[in-house]
Amino acid sequence: MPIDLNSLTIDSVRAAIAAKQITASSLVEQFYRKIKAEDPEIHAYLTLCEDRAAQRAKAIDDMVSRGAALPPLAGVPIGIKDVMVTKGVRTTAGSKVLENFIPPYDCTAVTRLEAAGAIVLGKMNCDEFAMGSSNENSAYGPVRNPRDKSRVPGGSSGGSAAAVVASTAVATLGSDTGGSIRQPASFCGVVGLMPTYGRVSRYGLIAFASSLDHIGPLTKTVKDAAILLRVIAGRDPLDSTSVDMPVPDYEADLAKPVMGLRVGVPKEYFGEGLDPEVRSAVEAGIAKLRSAGCEIVPISLPHTAYAIPTYYVIATAEASANLARFDGVRYGYRTKGARTLSEMYRKSRDEAFGTEVKRRIMLGTYALSSGYYDACYLKAQRVRTLLTRDFEEAFQKVDAIVTPTAPSPAFKLGEKSDDPLSMYLADIYTVTADLAGIPGISVPCGKTAAGLPIGLQVLGRHFDESTVLRVATAVERP
């Protein structure tokens, strides 16, 4: 029986399958028809995994027919950003380096999703190695924003955000190193959650910057984000940075009132460079929180001005080290006709890496080089500590912090391609949370006069995603 794919949420899918209103197999078939008809114009998907999805759907249908208890994501069609490895399914990280790479194992987050009954439809387009703020750096072509196809969807998880708003997946997973879940969520008008560093295992995530990378959900509602987070969160012995802490029932916590919560508004996030329409929409969201009984507290995060340079030293330094493994020897692209080993290294990397990835490798290698390590990398790590202390001191006074997600709505395709600095500044409000390792979420809070979505960002204490989700729910309510 056909079903309206545009209105589906995790709850509604599971309920429809449990009530036998639709089978998981027929739902998957409907999604693939929609993807094949509509996605070529958006380009959110890089690879489909139809056989894998069909097998998973049949397993769910067998459970229904036996009357077995259904897992929490039974039959929910989900897309996975193409920086998370999937056994037997091509994983490219948006790069020519990995154009034909078929991983031999699954990312832990994917394993947990499928164990909970989710059905992976395919792999989502993204900026190459997650390096970008517009999804124009993908080696396979840009993603277009379904809200306005002349504009970017944000990056680097642009495909993940675009698929949710286009309803070619019920929900998706993205990764966030400097804003790559929250900024595209803002540009596309969906919910994007970055958990605390260590809350979700990074095993199987192709590394960009290992001390900054996070995996998190992009969804239509805050409730769906809470459901997905509970499934993928928790200690993983395969990732030494994952933390052994109890995982709350985030969905149940959404019912707790926000009345009495102290919400901080940092003056540094409302200064020069903030689009007037974004400011107005975020201020309206703050007013909604005040009406819900929150106490709005002006605060200061004094080292915010140093966040972008700090981020682009640390992130590029870690990228330089992580991407050294793509050398044309063990796996990935190898040039043809090189006469010496050093020529093979050089040509393989030169031919397969894109411009932005090369730029970041060079920046990072410079920051780590002899004579510049102390002046660049070490100093950036010290400033990172100051930024983290800013948040720790603020959270002694407030329960959550509210800011704009991005300084502007989605910009035009090609508008910032030749201006890397301008592109980097698109992450000015998001990189601080990655540097401090705290959780953050972007939730839609309005639109511009031209109908472009605007996101409001909620930041919280380490491992206090429950409060972040509760505040986001209060913003989300009509």
Active-site residues, by number, are 81, 156, 180
CB atoms within 10 A of CB 14: 20
Which residue carries 């209103």 as its tokens? 21
**CA pair distance 66, 276, nearest whole angstrom:** 57
Using alpha carbons only, what angle is made at residue 419 by residues 414 and 420, rounded to the nearest 5 degrees? 110
Q: Please say whether the beta carbons of 109 and 201 come within 8 A.
A: yes
**CA pair distance 252, 194, nearest whole angstrom:** 19
Ramachandran region, residue 402 (left: φ > 0; alpha: ψ -120 to 50; beta: rest) = beta
Distances (CA, A) of 56 to 11, 194, 338, 453: 18, 27, 44, 34
Which residue carries 């800011």 as its tokens? 403
Strand order from edge to edge, sheet including 119-124 = 45-48, 119-124, 77-81, 171-176, 214-219, 191-194, 440-447, 453-460, 400-404, 262-266, 295-299
**CA pair distance 335, 351, nearest whole angstrom:** 7
Query: Which residue type occupies 305?
Result: A
